[in-house]
Structure 1
């Protein structure tokens, strides 16, 4: 894949094209600040029109507290990627091919989502709430995957990191994003559990990115994971006993993610070479 070389690119492009782990952290930090700021502003603008104690109790609450903030976040990330002229690269074919065993990741993610759909009491929710929640899930998948499996992975690869470190660091960054739940008043133990799960899920999404060869598939799988989890549990990042045996089976996917992560730490050894003209090519 060809990118602007160091002579023709602007200072803005040259800065980001060099990549690096700290630039991935910088992008994530600025994004989270803007996202949380947008959430606060939206909350002020629509004060009195939503009930945070029952986030899935009305379509207005879902739209204001979930859909609008993440839609703003997704647009911010798309605008940033467009400013770098990276959109064709981010949504194009991956520079390194996946291995056959990596297919376990998307299959398990999809199976867990199907089990949650089958085990959820949908009569608890209005149809409009369900539709808005899934629409929110699409923006969540777009924003979080574009940030972590798109921009962060690209910055790490441009920084010269091996794919093992790309996988670990991008998944760690994904987990750290969820530490912001502390600001919403969630208990520390719940937040730590969420961060541990999101690290493992991040590895599964990285493996999905590799084996499918496209960022689109992690986005879509992520887009069905969050809303089916929210509606199955009745809240966001809620930990507790599953009310249905099917939801219990779906919860077992975390152990598969753990095993996959351990396997991946040993088997993921590829590298995308960085050249002086800032063109990246996979090694043989």
Structure 2
């Protein structure tokens, strides 16, 4: 059977056109979150079995490799595979939902807090190799969790028709609830972590919105974890400045609550005409 030149041209053009991005349904996103957590918790438990390792007490390079680097690295590989499957890299890494300029105070306040509360003496006592690996490990956590929740999660909820308020709300609550799985290693105090991580999740969402870049949220998340965990590198010597982290979060959330109606820019005349 012969094929006309026109049919061949149309076939080649169709093959060269990019496929439309896939939509991830809400329940499918929940499955992705469950798999991510299973990888992190499962591999971490497997590698830490028989070791004298306390939860959230990064006191050695061995701890960081077993509990963070390897399990989170595998979970990141899985999450990148999901993002590739969606075929929406631009949409995942760039947020096109503008906010008012004053929200730049959120990433700036986080950065200043990180500089202030980091336990420099504690890190120095463990040596530069440990400090560098802790930074790499926390940046990996920031990359993986932000890609999952503020990247894939935000896109998934937006594509399923959720309002931007509900997008921020649900991805924040799921981010906090996901840390409830730490009850396996830390016991009931993981419930406190759920509340705290929900608060930080909302702040990281605001970093995404205020900068328009997922990479900024990833960096903020990783550096925040680095500064907070640095206060626990010497469990017998609590680092008092780390308590400022909770104060900063409370102030930022109160600020957003008070000025919540001034987060989204007022519609332009052109947008108003389009709505009529």
TM-score surpassing 0.5?
yes
Indicate the residue corresponding to 2:138 in structure 1: 137
State the Cα distance separating 1:149 from its structure 2 match: 0.2
Matched with 2:247 is: 252
- Please say if residues 138 and 219 of structure 1, whose CA atoms lie closer than 8 Å, have aligned partners that are also in contact: yes
Larger radius of gyration: 2
Q: Identify the structure with the greater helix proportion.
A: 2
The structural deviation recorded for 1:115 is 1.1
Using the size of structure 1 for normalisation, the TM-score is: 0.77
Distance in 1 separating the partners of 2:150 and 2:105? 18
Whether contact under 8 Å (1:103, 1:211) holds in the other structure is: yes
2:108 aligns with 107
After superposition, the CA RMSD in angstroms is 2.9
Instruction: Judge conservation of contact 2:183–2:190 (CA < 8 Å) in 1.
Output: yes
1:256-267 paired onto structure 2 within 5 Å: 256-263=251-258, 266-267=261-262
Deviation at 1:116, TM superposition (A): 1.6
For normalisation by structure 2, the TM-score amounts to 0.79
Do the aligned residues in 1 keep the contact of 2:44 with 2:67 (CA within 8 Å)? yes
2:76: which partner in 1?
A: 74
* CA-CA distance at 1:125 after TM superposition: 1.7
* Residue from 47, 65, 68 that aligns with 2:67: 65
Q: Which residue of 2 aligns with 1:243?
A: 239
Match of 2:39 among 8, 25, 34: 34
Tell me: CA distance 1:199–1:53, structure 2 relative to 1, closer, same or farther (3 Å). Answer: closer
Gaps of 5+ in 1: 1-7, 271-282
State whether structure 2 residue 166 is matched by structure 1 residue 165.
yes
> Are the equivalent residues in 1 in contact too, given 2:146–2:218 (CA < 8 A)?
yes
Post-superposition Cα deviations, 1:152-178, rounded to whole Å, max 9, x if no partner, equal 100000011111111110000100110
CA contact (8 A) 2:175 2:197 kept: yes
Q: How many residues align?
A: 249
Structure 1 match to 2:198: 199
Matched ranges for 1:48-63 at <5 A: 50-53=51-54, 55-63=57-65
